[in-house]
Chains A and B, each alone.
Chain A
Amino acid sequence: MRSLASRRRHPAAILILLLLGLVATGGLYSLLAPKPAQASVATADDMTAGRKLFLANCATCHGLHAEGSKAAPSLVGVGAAAVDFQVGTGRMPLAGPAIQASPSGTVKYTDEQIASLAAYVASLSPGPAVPDGQYTKGDGDIARGNELFKVNCAMCHNFVGSGGALTRGKHAPSLRNVSGKHMYEAMVTGPQSMPVFNDTNLSPTDKNDVISYLHEIDKNQNPGGMTLGNLGPVSEGMFVWVFGLGLMVAAAVWLGSKAA
């Protein structure tokens, strides 16, 4: 120790200190700096498997090099998130020509296959990656998520995420019981009619708040029973017009009829 202290005025000391400082800063930075959301690193094997899957199942419409065709858009630059959303929710492969792809109920590929497909598409050109799990857990601020949801999403997806109609047969799907990952991916990629909500519009924390709100809605119980689709005044008004007024008309007829 003494020898070290005695050498503190050595001409090289300043150089060594400088180097130490740089290493520490660089190391800390790489540890603490925010990382761009990246899926698990794709290996070359994944990519090859993904390319095979793509050629066998997607290339008919999307083209041999994912360049798109009259029937389907180009997939260059859509990123892994778009693939994971479209295939992972069963929207793709498309069952048949339709005004918009809807979840078919069954997902055609295993998680592994979807991951390799996504890796292949992501390798074509950079695009949004599959989100980091920490922003899709739905453990954020529910009240803030509600506020963001009402301003940015509710006009299409309904105030409790029941979905709604758009123009010419298109619709905004219901958000009930959708996984946080898929909601996040939809916001980032803007599938079909949906606009893109990139990270500068709704930050990852904002997105997590929105997901938290929607997960909370899923847990909500309905005190009155019979939600009528949670569609608001249209379905509820219809119910009252048909059953409520129907009962009143029946009562009026009974009151007005002669006893004998």
Chain B
Amino acid sequence: MTEHYTEPTGADVSLPGTAARLHQGHTEGTGHIEGTGGIPARFADPGLDPHVHRLADHQEKAARRAERQVAALFGISMVATIIFLVAYFAIDLHTYRFVPGIGQANLSNVVLGVSLGLSLLCIGLGAVHWAKTLMPDTEVTEDRHPQRSSEEARADAVDTILAGGDASQLARRPLIKYTLGGALGLFALPLVVQLAGSLGPLPKAELSTTFWRKGMRLMRDPQLTPIKATDVTIGSVFHVMPEGIDKTAHLLEEKGKAAVLLMRLDPDEILIAKERDWGHDGIVAYSKICTHVGCPVGLYEQQTHHLLCPCHQSTFDVTQDCKVIFGPAHRPLPQLKITVDAEGYLVADSAFREAVGPSFWERG
């Protein structure tokens, strides 16, 4: 015991307003409760707060007012529904009017939406107001009853099961026991096979490869016309698809992987030798699919040479082989090696050397 307080008695604690304090009952240094700090062995059930009656419970006038309020809410709902029905037929679908708060809007849309919303809202408000003011609100306590059956009933149940087991002769006839086990066990397999089968085919190499092959021309998207190297002036950006992409059966999947961005920089501004070698005279082609979650990285700033992804602001520096300089992406954008064919058109010099787009489980 310390000098800071006197030992409270049990009677003290049981009085309302003098709760046991945390430091009471602790012996310094030992850190455990010894049970002498004035906490009673058993807390008394404080019971429910006294019930407060509502005005409508004992004043007939107030009750009638509440009734009228509920009826009024239901009435407003009916009026709103009728407005909806009339407006549905009466208002021309192409009428635009100024509506306070939301500006110029389609009148039919606004009236139908507001009236139907008001109609449903007033039904709800009325029901809740009815429950809160007029329906009984006295607190009710229900005790929990023991759920365990009597000893005889429990013993009876065990006897019944054992007798049934004996009657089936399972223990005496092992042939039946083992074949039944085998049949039931095997039956689980079709369920497992169907579940595994319904997960779809394995992706194989589809995530790692794109439509691009060596020798394919770079085509403008969406015109699908080939691009001459001389067409690409410094500061330009071309959105590119591989030649023949429109002939594939899975157009959207292939486009989603094959989209490429073509830019021309002053070759002296390119800092990485590999980037210059894989391009043509400062023209470089990079995958447009963000390595974070696969959004199209299309925002090219021609002065800073930053490529920005609109989804999560990953920023790639085109002068440094599209290295990530900001944002959640972790890998640089894959570069497509390009060259020029005999007619002066830009062509891919190889397929993408690595998987484009976001990371996936099997990616090396």
Cβ of A110 under 8 Å from chain B: no
The answer, yes or no, to whether B171 is at the interface (CB within 8 Å) is no
| Complex CA distance for A221 and B223, rounded to whole angstroms | 30
Q: In the complex, what residues of B have CB within 8 A of residue A190's CB?
A: 235-236, 302
Please tell me which one of the listed residues A152, A172, A224, A259 contacts residue B105 in the complex, with CB atoms under 8 A apart.
A224
CB of A167 within 8 A of CB of B308, answer yes
- B208 to nearest A CB, angstroms? 26
Known: A195-B236, A198-B236, A225-B102. Contact between A260 and B302, CB under 8 A?
no
In A44-84, which residues have CB < 8 Å from any B CB?
none
- Report the minimum CB–CB distance from B88 to chain A (whole Å): 16
Is B53's beta carbon under 8 Å from chain A?
A: yes
Stretch at the interface among B1-9, B21-29, B292-300, B332-340: B292-300
Q: Interface residue tally of chain B, by bracket? A: 35 or more
**Is A201 in contact with B231, judged by CB distance below 8 angstroms?**
yes
- Asked whether any CB of chain A lies closer than 8 Å to the CB of B331, the reply is no
B298 to chain A: which residues have CB within 8 Å? Answer: 155-156
Q: Which residues of B have CB within 8 Å of A198?
A: 231, 233, 236
- A194 near B302 with CB under 8 A, answer yes
**Distance of A66 from chain B, by nearest CB (Å):** 18
CB interface residues, B 259-318, toward A, < 8 Å: 263, 296, 298-304, 306, 308, 310, 313, 315
Contact for B96 among A164, A167, A221, CB less than 8 A? A221
B235 touches A225 (CB 8 A): no
User: Does B239 have its Cβ within 8 Å of any Cβ on chain A?
Assistant: yes
The answer, yes or no, to whether A27 is at the interface (CB within 8 Å) is no
Assembled-state Cα–Cα distance A190/B233 (Å): 11
**B222 pairs with A225, CB closer than 8 A:** no
Chain A interface secondary structure, helix, strand, loop or mixed?
loop
Q: Which of B128, B227, B237 contacts A195 (CB 8 A)?
A: B237
A-contact 0/1 string along B57-101, CB 8 Å cutoff: 000000000000000000000000000000000000000100101
Say how far B223's CB is from chain A's closest CB, in angstroms. Answer: 8
CA distance A240 to B303 in the complex (A): 38
**With known contacts A152-B239, A164-B310, A193–B302 Cβ distance under 8 A:** yes
A156 touches B231 (CB 8 A): no
A204 to chain B, nearest CB (A): 14
A192→B236 CA distance, assembly (Å)? 13
- Chain A residues within 8 Å of B235, by CB: 190, 195-196
A197 nearest in chain B by CB position: B236
- Residue A176 at the B interface, CB < 8 A? no
Q: How far is the CA of A100 from the CA of B106 in the complex (A)?
A: 38
Q: Does A166 contact B (CB under 8 A)?
A: yes
Does A255 have its Cβ within 8 Å of any Cβ on chain B?
yes
Contact at A195–B263, with CB atoms within 8 Å? yes
| A7 close to chain B: CB less than 8 A | no
1/0 contact string of B87-127 vs chain A (CB within 8 Å): 00000000010010111111001100000000000000000
Q: How far is the CB of B70 from chain A (nearest CB, A)?
A: 13
CB of B105 within 8 A of CB of A167, answer no
Q: A167-B308, A201-B236 are in contact. Are A224 and B302 (CB under 8 A)?
A: no
Q: Which residues of A contact B308 (CB under 8 A)?
A: 166-167
- Does A200 sit at the interface, judged by CB under 8 A? yes
- Whether the pair A222, B228 counts as a contact (CB closer than 8 A) is no
How near does chain B come to A249, taking the closest CB pair, in angstroms? 16
Is the beta-carbon distance between A155 and B128 smaller than 8 angstroms? Answer: no
- The answer to the question of B341 belonging to the interface, with a C-beta cut-off of 8 Å to chain A, is no
Mask: chain A, 216-260; 1 = CB below 8 Å from B; 0 = not: 000001111111000000000000000000000000001100111
Contact assessment for B109 and A224 in the assembled complex, using a CB-CB cutoff below 8 Å: yes
Q: Which residue of B lies closest to A260 (CB)?
A: B54
Residues of B within 8 A of A195 (CB): 235-237, 263, 300, 302
Interface centre among A148, A166, A190, A259, by most chain B C-beta atoms within 10 angstroms, is: A259
Kindly state whether residue B178 has any CB partner on chain A within 8 Å.
Answer: no
Q: Are A147 and B236 in contact (CB under 8 A)?
A: no
A151 within 8 A of B: yes
B326 touches A222 (CB 8 A): no
Given A193-B303, A198-B236, A225 and B110 contact (CB-CB distance below 8 Å): yes
Rounded to whole angstroms, the CA-CA distance of A120 and B264 in the bound complex is 29
Whether B105 pairs with A200 at a CB distance below 8 angstroms is no
Nearest A residue to B262 by beta-carbon distance?
A201
A166 to B237, CA, bound (A): 16
Give the complex CA separation of A224 and B104 in angstroms: 8
CA distance A148 to B231 in the complex (A): 18
Q: Which 9 A-B pairs have the closest CB atoms?
A: A225-B105, A155-B298, A225-B102, A200-B231, A223-B106, A195-B237, A193-B301, A226-B102, A260-B54
Offer 25 A-B interface pairs, CB within 8 angstroms, sorted by A: A155-B298, A155-B310, A164-B310, A166-B301, A172-B299, A190-B235, A193-B302, A195-B302, A196-B233, A196-B235, A197-B236, A200-B231, A200-B232, A200-B233, A201-B231, A201-B236, A221-B96, A222-B104, A224-B106, A224-B109, A225-B103, A225-B106, A226-B102, A255-B128, A259-B133
Residues on A facing B (Cβ under 8 Å): 147-148, 151-152, 155-156, 164, 166-167, 170, 172, 190, 192-198, 200-201, 206, 221-227, 254-255, 258-260
